[in-house]
Amino acid sequence: MKNLDVRHYLDIYTTRKEMQDKGITQPNELYKKFTQEFVEKLQTYSLDEEIILDENGSFFDSKGNFIIKIPN
């Protein structure tokens, strides 16, 4: 899958989190927890850091360190 940066994913998942917090979207608790944790972790990275999403739904930083996995 194409590699993108922290800014890309942080924009998307911050918006998703805001929508969940406002009740606009109502995913199950597993996805809410994933969104919250992913946003918190992304906020610790530089915005231009590359983020790698593999075919199994796992996110890694540019050094290959695991960040989080999309729940099944």
Q: In the Cβ-directed half-sphere of 70, how many Cα atoms lie within 13 Å?
A: 10
Local confidence band at 72 (pLDDT 50, 70, 90 cut-offs): confident
Structural domain count of the chain:
1
pLDDT digits (tens, 9 = 90+) for 41-63: 999 999 999 999 999 999 999 99
Q: What are phi and psi of 51, to 5 degrees?
A: -120, 130
Q: How does DSSP assign 24-45, residue by residue?
A: SS---HHHHHHHHHHHHHHTTS
Note down the domain range covering 56: 4-69
pLDDT digits (tens, 9 = 90+) for 12-44: 999 999 999 999 999 999 999 999 999 999 999
Local confidence band at 3 (pLDDT 50, 70, 90 cut-offs): low
